[in-house]
Copies of this chain bind each other. A is one copy, B any other.
Amino acid sequence: MFEQLGLIGCGLMGGSFALAMKRAGLVKRVVGYSKSPSTTERARQMGVIDVEAPSALLAVSGADVVLLAVPVAATEATLKAIRHLVTHKMLIMDVGSTKRDVVDAARRVLREHASSFVACHPVAGKEVSGVDHADADLYHGKQVILTPTERTDAEKVQRAVHLWEALGSHVQQMTPEAHDAAFAAVSHMPHLIAFALMQSISSQPHGKEFLSLAGPGFRDFTRIAASDAKMWRDILLANKQELLEQCSAFRRSLQAMELMIETGNGDGLEEVIDKASQTRANWRMGPGRK
């Protein structure tokens, strides 16, 4: 049980966390701050936060748990804004989709207090953003990856594990590097591809007509292309190295299939598709989930 959550960023991710914490009876009071005053006000009106803080620094004052729910590129500036009120007693977490850059920023900015920072990536989200879409169930049944380092306080890691598990999440721990390599493959690449395909089709002379004919397969395939532009710009840039490696691997696979199509190599094509199809048919999302 926590006394006070300092929430920095009251959008979809932060707002959902506050609602889930409250519903689970894990926190007495939520003090929130968002860059946009109208978001902070809306969050209070909706009961997502109890008190509006006039700055990130003041959102942290008196908190025993702090959540940074800001775009990954804003992490360092946010940590700088709050560092003067960070104490050893606080548990500080984030929800960013990349971890190497966030862990580095925490070490640079928080110095010895970086031991209180437990980097988190809840594998949950929606293609819509904003506090209006905040949902107390967002993290329930979802995976949350923690990427503590050898400098992270072990007791803080345990508190973070218990907190997420109390929200119904499945917690895993790994290094920031392993995290970033995996999510380049299974999250950042699919987003990059979905954006590139939308761009490719819509910039063609008949793109609009083509899109008007698309069916349910296209609908699901491109759902993630509707994601927030600033947030994904930051993620793709933050995980540049791993992402470009995945991009090369993907282009090799695509070009091999193109060659099979061009040369009419039906057997080779069927073999690749069959393996892909079986791998996908046997895949299940995360532990304990469908």
Residues of A whose CB lies within 8 Å of any CB of B are: 123-125, 127, 142-143, 145, 172, 178, 181-183, 185-187, 189-204, 206-207, 209-230, 232-234, 236-237, 240, 243-244, 246-247, 249-254, 257-258, 261-262, 264, 266, 269-270, 272-277, 279-281, 283, 285-286
Contact = CB atoms under 8 A, between A and B. Distances in A.
Contacts of A219: 285
Nearest to A225: B280
B215 A143 contact: yes
What's the number of copies of this chain in the assembled complex?
2
A215 B286 contact: yes
B198 A186 contact: no
B124 A216 contact: yes
Given A193-B193, A240-B262, 5 more contacts: A199-B276, A214-B286, A220-B220, A247-B254, A247-B258
Contact of A236 (B178, B183, B197, B261): B261
A211 B186 contact: yes
Contacts of A127: 281
Max chain B Cβ within 10 angstroms of own Cβ: one of A185, A194, A220: A185
A82 to B, nearest CB: 24
Contacts of A246: 200
A98 to B, nearest CB: 13
Given A123-B213, A258-B247, A285-B215, A229 B197 contact: no
A258 B280 CA distance: 26
Max chain B Cβ within 10 angstroms of own Cβ: one of A202, A251, A262, A273: A273
Contacts of A264: 237, 240
A125 B249 CA distance: 30
Contacts of A280: 194, 198, 222-223, 225-226
Max chain B Cβ within 10 angstroms of own Cβ: one of A124, A230, A249: A249
B202 A279 contact: yes
Given A244-B258, A250-B200, A194 B221 contact: yes
